[in-house]
Copies of this chain bind each other. A is one copy, B any other.
Amino acid sequence: MKRTSEYAAIAEAEIRAISLPKENLEGLYAPVEYGMQAGGKRLRPTLVLMTADAFGQNPEKALKPAVGIEMFHNFTLLHDDVMDKSALRRGRPTVHSKWDENTAILSGDTMLTLATEYVADVDDSILRPVLDTFNRQALRVYEGQRLDMDFESREEVGLEEYIEMIKAKTGALLGGAAKIGALIGGASKEDAERMYDFGVMLGVAFQIEDDYLDTFGNAETFGKPIGGDINNNKMTFLMVKALSMGGANAEALKVAMKMPEGPTKVKTVTRIYEAMGMPAISKAEAAAYSSKALTAIKKTSLSDEAREAYRKLIEKLIGRSK
């Protein structure tokens, strides 16, 4: 097994090498390449590569599907940015602000089809389960996005349905990445399912940590301004959990949500969260899902070395700015 940073570097190199037909189709394919070159942790292709390796396959055999999974992820970001009317992502103009909305829609569609082609670049013997896994996770991601959009117009969201939304929107793609890596690695059907479960639980832990960092993180290491979720009244784990606890603090939160955007609102909500013990509660919840992810790994036939690699990955992700 390699270090996760090595798998990420292999994926990054392959992504940088993508070259699409540009002659008279610049307006279709340049945004695809731009969307892919946004950088980031490359967590999803890392999961594909390391899981193929963990099950004994040369990770080179998983390279195209790894790129496909990352392309699917970037396709969802591209369309999400149109829907959210976001001008920036990771400090760069989004595709629809650099080009225009129609370009973002069409080049996003192109990315989804290209992603399917990349993912399908596997041995014929496993094409069916790999393709099914990919399509099923895609539908789960859309379902999660739909639920997330529906939550925006609601005053209250239950903790259970929030977790279900995260399992779909964030977990399914991590689950799909791990399962596809396992299938390429020659894992048994049972082990492939366990790797899917691992990815879903990792996704939930990851999202809870991300929600935490958006309020309690350090802007520099987090890479985004702190307090964005609070200003947007976003239904995050912190907000959903805090509201579900009820009492005077929950009522105070509801009042604070009606405040205009700005540092006073961010400070007010943050203080209420602190009074409710949300930092510790959030950390404990992320740890609980990390532990579920590790339990899924322990149920597989993977070697101790591989298990240790996944444990380190979790530690790196969930404890990523302690």
A contact set with B: CB distance below 8 Å: 24-25, 27-28, 79, 82-83, 101-102, 105-106, 108-110, 112-114, 116-117, 120, 124, 127-128, 131-132, 135, 138-139, 142-143, 145-147, 149-150
Contacts and interface: CB of A to CB of B under 8 A. Distances in A.
Which of A109, A135, A147 has the most chain B CB atoms closer than 10 A to its own CB?
A109
9 contacts: A24-B147, A82-B105, A102-B149, A106-B149, A112-B112, A116-B131, A117-B132, A120-B131, A120-B132
B114 A116 contact: no
A105 B79 contact: yes
A83 to B, nearest CB: 4
Nearest to A161: B24
Given A83-B106, A114-B139, A120-B135, 11 more contacts: A24-B147, A27-B146, A28-B142, A28-B146, A79-B109, A106-B149, A109-B112, A110-B139, A113-B138, A116-B116, A120-B128
A315 B113 CA distance: 34
Main SS at interface, chain A:
helix
A27 B149 CA distance: 10
Contact of A113 (B28, B79, B105, B135): B135
A146 B25 contact: yes
A109 B142 contact: yes
Contact of A142 (B113, B127, B139, B149): B113
Contacts of A113: 112, 135, 138-139, 142
Contacts of A142: 28, 106, 109-110, 113
Contacts of A24: 147
Nearest to A76: B109
A131 to B, nearest CB: 6
Contacts of A101: 83
Which of A79, A142, A145, A149 has the most chain B CB atoms closer than 10 A to its own CB?
A142
B109 A27 contact: no
Nearest to A28: B146
Contacts of A25: 143, 146-147
A106 B117 CA distance: 21
A44 B258 CA distance: 52
